[in-house]
Structure 1
Amino acid sequence: MLITICRLYDSYIDANRVVVMLEAAGLPPSEKSVISNNSDTWYSATKTANIVPVRNYGASSKADGKVEGAALGAAIGATAATAASLVTMLAIPGVGAVVGAGWLAALLGGMAIGGVAGGLLGALTNAGISEEDAQVFVEGVRRGGTVVAARVPQSELPRIVPIMNQSAVNLQERSELYRKSGWQSFDPNAVPYTADQVRSERALHAH
């Protein structure tokens, strides 16, 4: 039985570093996934690519040789040549533009095809994350963060969890911080953060 471990990172660089370490630790590419806020368009599959709404999920984006795309795909074990084809650009209600790779991105697409509501929140809870934690993970992505999710056997937890904890957000502290500002739970009808708001939020939590 595989257990899902999920962590939030304020910096995509931190998230990417963790995924590369998971790769080095021998975690199969099929068991790693990344969902990252793309409101500031740090990743662009093609100059003319349209972001695919989650409810209308379509094909993965085409390769354009961008370093960021190669890094994202390579981080989950793809070669540079096939990396960008594994990267999916989505528009999630309440979150906005995201770029994803791996099984969680595929799950988001499968939910949309099947007409299942819930977006990223539903995908995380379906993967075994508690709703309380999933609420904070999704709000974190909405505000500019990156989620890394890994599926591992119970016996591997002592080895994998410390890797994923490196540079990860303390979820309890972040939840309390959000609530102090009036946040109660993720709202799929909320207006997504603008690029400037995302940059400001990232700067707020910069190491």
Structure 2
Amino acid sequence: MSRTVSALYDKYDEAAAAVRELEDAGIPAADISLVSNNVDNHYRVEADKETAGDIAADGAGAGSLIGGGAGLLAGLGVIAIPGIGPVVAAGWLAATAVGAAAGAIAGAIGGGIVGSLTRSGVSEEDAHLYAEGVRRGGSLVSVRVEADREAAVEQILHAHDHVDLAARGGALRDNGWRQFDESGRAFSEEELARARQDPRQPLI
């Protein structure tokens, strides 16, 4: 039975390193997803990449966001997530969300990232924390894996400098945060810069 294992990273480089190690361990790119905040255009992708809006509008399908032979990171594209804004993303999580957006407003993920995560088996509490972590400048790696490889995937994800989700959630709640709001506004570049310095600070 397939399960979903996820990890949040404050630094994109840590998330990308985890993705590469997962692929080196034989995890197919089609089973890995990466979503990273890009409100400040911090990470650049190829100029000719399709956006989620393009994919939803022309019916190209979810496969457009999944990396090919060069690996998942080669398939990164720019999409917009309600409540977060622009992200660079690739893989099944982004593809599932894009599929939900077909026929909706171009460039936005129908059902949002929380819905996509919970549909994949992530608890609602963790899904809100992952989404808020991305909103505050982080990067999320999610992996679909069979039960017999779950421990190995967790070991790879946790070998990189990942966020302690329970501790981060406690810090956010202490500062007045309750849950991720998909109808809320995305951070400005200035706010995102502050959030990148300290993702726990009370930016609501």
Bin for the TM-score computed over the shorter chain: 0.7 to 0.9
Q: CA deviation at 1:6?
A: 0.8
Evaluate the alpha carbon distance shift between residue 139 and residue 159 of structure 1 in structure 2; reply closer, same or farther with a 3 A threshold. Answer: same
C-alpha separation in 1, matches of 2:31 and 2:152: 15
Displacement after TM superposition at 1:172 (Å): 0.5
In the superposition, relative to structure 1, how do residues 58 and 140 fare at CA in structure 2: closer, same or farther (>3 Å)?
farther
Q: Note if contact 2:56-2:98 (Cα within 8 Å) is conserved in structure 1.
A: yes
Query: Structure 2-normalised TM-score?
Result: 0.82
Q: What is the rounded CA distance, in whole Å, between the counterparts of 2:57 and 2:87 in structure 1?
A: 14
Paired position in structure 2 for 1:138 = 131
The alpha-carbon deviation at position 53 of structure 1 amounts to 5.3
Structure 1 pair 83–174 and aligned structure 2 pair: CA distance change class (3 A): closer
Task: For 1:182, give the aligned amino acid.
Answer: G
Are the equivalent residues in 2 in contact too, given 1:7–1:164 (CA < 8 A)? yes
The reply to whether residue 25 of structure 1 matches residue 25 of structure 2 is yes
1:137-158 residue CA offsets vs partner (Å, 9 max, x unmatched): 0000011000000111101122
Instruction: Please give the alpha-carbon distance, in whole angstroms, between the structure 1 residues aligned to 2:73 and 2:11.
Output: 20
CA-atom RMSD in angstroms: 2.8
Pair 1:26–1:46, CA change in 2 (3 A): closer
Aligned to 1:197: 191
Q: In the aligned structure 2, how far is the partner of 1:33 from the partner of 1:59?
A: 22
Partner in structure 2 of residue 128 of structure 1: 121
Secondary structure of the 1:121 match is helix
Contact 2:97–2:110 (Cα < 8 Å) also in 1: no
- Residue 70 of structure 2 corresponds to 79
Query: Runs of 5+ in structure 1 lacking a partner?
Result: 61-71
How far off is 1:28 after superposition? 1.1
* Structure 1 residue corresponding to 2:78, chosen from 71, 84, 89: 89
- Deviating beyond 3 angstroms after TM superposition, the runs of 4 or more aligned structure 1 residues are 44-54, 56-60, 114-117
Unaligned 5+ runs, structure 2: 60-64, 200-204
Tell me the CA shift for residue 112 of structure 1. Answer: 1.1
SS of the residue corresponding to residue 196 of structure 2 reads helix
> 1: CA distance between counterparts of 2:187 and 2:33?
23
Structure 1 residue 93, shift from structure 2 partner:
1.1
- In 2 relative to 1, CA 199–156 (structure 1 residues): closer, same or farther, beyond 3 Å? same
Secondary structure in 2 matching 1:189 = coil
> 1:112: which partner in 2?
101
CA distance in 2, matches of 1:155, 1:100: 27
TM-score by length of 1: 0.81
Identity of aligned residues (%): 36
Q: Could you tell me whether the CA contact under 8 Å between 1:23 and 1:77 is conserved in 2?
A: no
Tell me the equivalent position of 2:169.
175
Mean alpha-carbon deviation: is it higher for 141-150 or for 116-125? 116-125
Q: 2:11–2:139: 8 Å Cα contact kept in structure 1?
A: yes
1:156-178 Cα deviation digits (max 9, x unpaired): 12211111112110110111111
Aligned length, in residue pairs: 189
Counterpart of 1:57?
56
Q: Residue type of the partner of 2:173? A: R
Q: Is the 8 A contact 1:9 1:168 kept in 2?
A: yes
Query: Are residue 151 (structure 1) and residue 140 (structure 2) matched?
Result: no
